[in-house]
């Protein structure tokens, strides 16, 4: 583990650099354990790290670093599995033909591979409701688009690298658009306002006959 200061009242605890569901589970569990401490104001899990904001009247960088190492060594348990969301997808995205050409896969094979796994919600960020899902099967791995779009429609199902996701709002984006869904991910009148939470699971299925 590597622990680095983030200003006077925050730390970054890095467990690893890999995109891995087991490590992400440890990060989420560590964040949950840290939130219970009186000297911690906020703890937010990333892919394989936790950002911790603390009360400087109750803790220092050194004292909290020691506490984080003790908690990480215990590997605090996390309730598993996370909530399962089944998401219908129309696999008719504007990039699916190009993706097929580059990967030498038929459209039907892309659908079969993309809808095969149960994906992990590694974290939620970028814009309200956006969830980084993965790992994407290796057969579908492509780098981001060379030229990002200035606007991607809400509901677009996309992929890039070892991840996939759904654009919750019309935003710029550089991922490959392979489909669309009608499921709303950002629910501003709900608490919490995001459908997905870190640790949840997502299963896509084709909505087309």
pLDDT in tens, 171-190: 999 999 999 999 999 998 88
Backbone dihedral angles phi then psi of residue 115, each to the nearest 5 degrees: -90, 0
For residues 34 and 157, give the distance between their C-alpha atoms in angstroms, rounded to a whole number. 34
The pLDDT assigned to 75 comes to 63
The pLDDT assigned to 126 comes to 87
For residues 60 and 64, give the distance between their C-alpha atoms in angstroms, rounded to a whole number. 6
pLDDT digits (tens, 9 = 90+) for 35-55: 999 999 999 999 999 999 999
CATH code for the part of the protein at 2-74: 3.30.1360.40
Share of residues in the chain with pLDDT > 90 (%) = 81
The pLDDT assigned to 80 comes to 59
Fold of 84-206: Cyclophilin (2.40.100)
Residue 116 structure tokens? 């095969």
CB 83 within 8 A of CB 197: yes
Q: What is the pTM of this model?
A: 0.85
Residue ranges of the domains in the chain? 2-74, 84-206
CA-nearest of 96, 138, 137 to 118 is: 137
Q: Mean pLDDT across the chain, nearest whole number?
A: 93
Q: Which residues of the chain fall short of a pLDDT of 50?
A: none
For residues 74 and 93, give the distance between their C-alpha atoms in angstroms, rounded to a whole number. 45
CA-nearest of 134, 77, 138, 57 to 105 is: 138
């Amino acid at each position: 583990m590597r622990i680095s200061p983030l200003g006077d009242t925050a730390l970054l605890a890095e467990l690893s650099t890999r995109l891995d569901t087991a490590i992400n589970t440890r990060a989420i569990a560590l964040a949950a354990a840290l939130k219970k401490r009186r000297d911690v104001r906020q703890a937010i899990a990333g892919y394989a790290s936790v950002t911790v904001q603390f009360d400087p009247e109750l803790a220092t960088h050194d004292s909290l670093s020691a506490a984080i190492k003790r908690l990480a060594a215990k590997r605090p348990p996390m309730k598993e599995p996370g909530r399962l969301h089944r998401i219908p997808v129309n696999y008719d995205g504007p990039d699916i033909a190009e993706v097929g050409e580059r990967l030498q896969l038929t459209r039907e094979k892309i659908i079969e591979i993309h809808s095969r796994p149960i994906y992990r919600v590694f974290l939620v960020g970028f814009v309200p409701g956006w969830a980084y899902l993965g790992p994407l099967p290796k057969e579908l791995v492509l780098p981001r688009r060379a030229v990002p779009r200035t606007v991607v429609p809400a509901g677009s199902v996309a992929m890039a690298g070892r991840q996939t996701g759904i654009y919750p709002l019309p935003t710029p984006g550089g991922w490959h658009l392979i489909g669309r869904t009608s499921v709303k991910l950002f629910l501003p009148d709900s608490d919490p306002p995001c459908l997905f939470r870190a640790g949840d699971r997502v299963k896509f299925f084709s909505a087309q006959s």
